[in-house]
Amino acid sequence: MTAETMTSPVADTTIHPVWVRATHWINAVAILVMIGSGWQIYNASPLFGFHFSKSIALGQWLGGALLWHFAAMWALVGNGLVYMTMALITGRFRRKLLPIYPSDVIADVTAALTFKLAHDDLSHYNAVQKLLYTGVILCSVVIVLSGVSIWKPVQFQELTALFGGYDLARYVHFFAMSAIVGFLVVHVALALLVPRGLRAMVAGK
């Protein structure tokens, strides 16, 4: 028996520490509220030739949707800052989400398409997961910054200019939302297909 096993007979099997689980689920609720109310706000002044059905939009009318959107915004941004700060301090970004090599992504996509991608080790993300998680984190940063630039285009005019002006910032905001919704469809489907992963994101182990 090594000194390590003598002092800690029960191995620590924590996959996701409590701060990851807490920020993940707060984020999930906040983002769903942001998306639902965002669709209602979009309906008041559509960018394209379609509306979102009222049955899936939140807030009943423009004023109500704006209240939901701005309430959830504080939760999303505050919680997102906690996650990003902790992920940087603890080295989680470096250990779990980076680096991402294109050759690994191609190999893992090929393995997934031929049903050969292993899910045995939940403590390790494959290259496709790394790419999707890093991508959705970047999309979240873009959606917040483009949102701020259309919320306060006078106070944050440099930021709005960075997006090419108010009108273009609205398109950026819309396409970032679309990318996050696309991510969510795949992410939730995979979470349901691999329930062990879902259990680990709830219970930690």
DSSP 93: I
**Span near ligand HEM by CB under 6 A; candidates 3-11, 72-80, 99-107, 197-205:** 197-205
* Contact status: 180 vs ligand HEM (CB under 6 A): yes
Helices (H), 90-165: 92, 102-113, 127-151, 157-162
Token output for 154: 């006078």
137 lines the binding site for ligand HEM (CB under 6 A): yes
Q: Is 187 in the site for ligand HEM (CB under 6 A)?
A: yes
Nearer to ligand HEM (CB atom), residue 54 or residue 124: 124
Q: What letter does residue 45 receive in the DSSP assignment?
A: S
In one-letter notation, the amino acid at residue 162 is L
Instruction: Encode 48-59 in three state secondary structure.
Output: CCCCCCCCCCCC
Name the segment binding ligand HEM (CB under 6 A); options: 54-62, 149-157, 164-172, 182-190.
Answer: 182-190
Q: What is the DSSP string of 152-181?
A: STTTTHHHHHHTTSHHHHHHHHHHHHHHHH
H/E element, 122: none
Calculate ∠ Cα 86-89-94, nearest 5°. 100
Q: Which of 52, 133, 166, 174 binds ligand HEM (CB under 6 A)?
A: 133
Does 88 interact with ligand HEM (rule: CB under 6 A)?
no
Pick one of 39, 72, 92, 130: the residue that binds ligand HEM (CB under 6 A). Answer: 92
By CB under 6 A, tell whether 177 contacts ligand HEM.
Answer: no
24 binds ligand HEM (CB under 6 A): yes
Distance, in Å, from the CA atom of 91 to the CA atom of 20, rounded to the nearest integer, reads 13
- The distance of closest approach from Cβ of residue 136 to ligand HEM in the complex, given in angstroms and rounded to an integer, is 5
Does 122 engage in binding with ligand HEM (CB under 6 A)?
Answer: yes
Site residues for ligand HEM per CB under 6 A: 20, 24, 27-28, 31, 92, 96, 122, 133, 136-137, 140, 180, 184, 187-188, 191, 197-198, 200-201
